[in-house]
Structure 1
Amino acid sequence: MIMDVKDAIAAAPYEACERLSPRIRRVLARNPSAFTYLGTGTFIVGSGTVAVIDPGPDEDVHLDAILAATRGEDISHILVTHTHKDHSPLAGRLSEVSGAQIAGCAPLVLEDSGPRSDAAFDTSYAPDRVLADGDSVSGPDWTLTAVHTPGHTSNHLCFALPQEEALFSGDHIMGWSTTVVSPPDGDMTAYLASLKKLQAREDRIYYPTHGAPVTEPRKLVRGYLIHRKQRENQILTLLEDGPQTIETMVKAMYAMVNKALHPAAGRSVLAHLIDLERRGSVVRADETQWRKAA
């Protein structure tokens, strides 16, 4: 990043409504972290009758900012990409105030064994309608179509806006970092398949929930696939020296990364190992170590 993260947080337009395109506005929640970057970007789509995508954390100031941004308009739908606590908790209160229908991903609550406190699942999420792959909701000047993209979570959806050849990519594609894939619900096999699914699409721009818009989406997706293949090759190379623990592999693979992020990196390494195990490339040597398959 060109700007230091602390400087970027200090300059972030919290509570303001940013106009990103003729149909798209964004309100940024004040929940920055090592995993959310500047915070949750809540999108408002359309004019007059609008949809809100990823309402974000259940915070009064963020609710007030969304309501201020949509004053004089009708919120018909609240769409949710997945049920991590930085994405969906405000949906219930926003629905109560606005009368909007909550739609999007299926409910999902699991015990999270990963390193992210903000990634705990939202137990309050109660959609009025669950959208399957290809299902749509519409307003006067917009249509949003669900694109099922499991991997980060099994219930993850993106939303396509054909009127602008745009895709709201949630956490599947982020505008500042690669996403964490944390088993048991995070699944590298599914994540890679979902990347290939997006690569086959012709969206002009992505709007991630965290980070800046992605103006060359197919190039970025290709880079993500290359990055994951490189990580996979690193694992297989390390295992040439014999059985290893995930902790040992992370220290070698992420030597230049802040150690505070190593636990999250370990979850993605585990996800890669499970994927490689399914393909017969690695096996578990014992309770803590992995080795190459014979």
Structure 2
Amino acid sequence: MIPYVRDIEVVYGRCDQVSPLIRRVTANNPGPFTFKGTGTYIVGKGEVAVIDPGPDDPAHLEAILAAVAGERVTHILITHHHSDHSPLAGALKAATGATIYGCAVAGHEVEDTGEVKMEAGHDLDFRPDVSLCGGGAVSGPGWTIEAIPTPGHTSNHICFALKEENCLFSGDHIMGWSTTVITPPDGDMGDYLASLANIEARHFTTLWPTHGPPIREVDAFIAAYTAHRHERANQILRALEAGPGRIRDLVPRLYADVDPRLWPAASRSMLAAILYLSGEGKIVAIDNAGSDSEYRLAD
């Protein structure tokens, strides 16, 4: 079982000093995929980096600028291109002259269909000034940040490690309040599991997700996070032992304990798991593999 951490006090627009080198300002965009809202992190003093400035919200921009008054923003770091993370980067750059760093998505996935969006949406215009798709490092007075590519949630997801505090800004890759949605074709379960293993091997002291409180028991949390993904995959295999099935029929059974508003997202993550299992040779599609396809166990 995942030892979720969900206890966080949020005052929108307030700047909170959460560690010696880190401040956080939370945007007023709570929701089923953003929890209490987007936590924008400010790293350093005097010359600072801003991580995930968040949604296109003038009030949040004003709060960030107030938090760094008298300082110089030199770097804007983006974990990925979803619209609760990256859209404000352009306005923040215009106000500060900072350089935007991140990874542009290779292709634009088709927007999710259905009554509920899988995410807050996609920032299709996101283009960083400097690409960190292959990793890299940036620094300022008293701080050094390493970009660690972590594809899975999206193909262009990046986590950022702060050397001086042995911590990781984990974006949506690892969150304390919820599991991460994997939405094919841009999201990939195999990539996600490999990225989790990569982060686990680094033994960070603290994870700072973009949504929700920090994760302090990092190794145990990632181990449980990974075990949960494998258990979900095993649930699918056990469900198909009774005969072929479709995702739309399996989700209400396997996600009965999840808010039904999130079932469309669960359907996408289940598709990611099924595609992963198909690649492992454990499941085959009776017709072409897709969201509406019927699947069975491989012979």
Interval containing the TM-score (normalised by the shorter chain): over 0.9
1:14 is matched with which residue? 12
1:228 is matched with which residue? 229
2:112 is matched with which residue? 113
The 5-angstrom pairing of residues 183-194 of structure 1 reads 183-194=184-195
The one-letter code sitting in structure 2 at the alignment partner of 1:277 is S
Which of 70, 73, 79 aligns to 1:72? It is 70
Q: What TM-score, normalized by structure 2, do the two folds share? A: 0.93
The one-letter code sitting in structure 2 at the alignment partner of 1:111 is V
Residues 133 and 156 in structure 2, CA contact (< 8 A), matched pair in contact too? no
1:289 is matched with which residue? 294
Query: How far did 1:257 drift?
Result: 1.7
1:202 is matched with which residue? 203
> In structure 2, what is the Cα distance between the partners aligned to 1:105 and 1:126?
8
Residue deviations 1:78-108, cap 9 Å, x none?
0000000000000001001100000122245
Residue deviations 1:118-138, cap 9 Å, x none?
442212322110113440111
Residues 92 and 126 in structure 1, CA contact (< 8 A), matched pair in contact too? no
Residues 150 and 190 in structure 1, CA contact (< 8 A), matched pair in contact too? yes
> In structure 2, what is the Cα distance between the partners aligned to 1:169 and 1:256?
26
Q: What TM-score, normalized by structure 1, do the two folds share? A: 0.94
> In structure 1, what is the Cα distance between the partners aligned to 2:105 and 2:63?
26
1:33 is matched with which residue? 31
> In structure 2, what is the Cα distance between the partners aligned to 1:275 and 1:175?
24
1:165 is matched with which residue? 166
Residues 135 and 146 in structure 1, CA contact (< 8 A), matched pair in contact too? yes
Residues 104 and 126 in structure 2, CA contact (< 8 A), matched pair in contact too? no
The 5-angstrom pairing of residues 1-294 of structure 1 reads 12-108=10-106, 109-113=108-112, 115-116=116-117, 118-286=119-287, 288-294=293-299
> In structure 1, what is the Cα distance between the partners aligned to 2:125 and 2:270?
30
Residues 118 and 264 in structure 2, CA contact (< 8 A), matched pair in contact too? no
Residue deviations 1:2-29, cap 9 Å, x none?
xxx9xx89x6210000111110000000
> In structure 2, what is the Cα distance between the partners aligned to 1:197 and 1:118?
25
Query: How far did 1:260 drift?
Result: 1.5
Residue deviations 1:144-169, cap 9 Å, x none?
11000000000000000010001000
The one-letter code sitting in structure 2 at the alignment partner of 1:112 is E
Structure 1, unpaired ranges of 5+:
none
Residues 205 and 215 in structure 1, CA contact (< 8 A), matched pair in contact too? yes
Structure 2, unpaired ranges of 5+:
1-5
The one-letter code sitting in structure 2 at the alignment partner of 1:245 is R
Partner secondary structure for residue 241 of structure 2: helix
Residues 78 and 103 in structure 1, CA contact (< 8 A), matched pair in contact too? yes
Comparing 152-161 with 118-127, greater Cα deviation is found at 118-127
Query: How far did 1:259 drift?
Result: 1.4
Number of aligned residues: 287
Partner secondary structure for residue 241 of structure 1: coil
> In structure 2, what is the Cα distance between the partners aligned to 1:123 and 1:177?
25
Change (3 A) 1:79 1:29: same
The one-letter code sitting in structure 1 at the alignment partner of 2:164 is Q
The one-letter code sitting in structure 2 at the alignment partner of 1:102 is I
The one-letter code sitting in structure 2 at the alignment partner of 1:56 is G
Query: How far did 1:275 drift?
Result: 0.2
Change (3 A) 1:117 1:231: closer
CA RMSD of aligned residues (A): 1.5
> In structure 1, what is the Cα distance between the partners aligned to 2:109 and 2:148?
22
Residues 44 and 53 in structure 1, CA contact (< 8 A), matched pair in contact too? yes
The one-letter code sitting in structure 1 at the alignment partner of 2:44 is G
The one-letter code sitting in structure 2 at the alignment partner of 1:72 is G
Query: How far did 1:217 drift?
Result: 1.1
The one-letter code sitting in structure 2 at the alignment partner of 1:44 is I
Partner secondary structure for residue 155 of structure 2: coil
Q: Between the two proteins, what is the percent identity of the paired residues?
A: 52
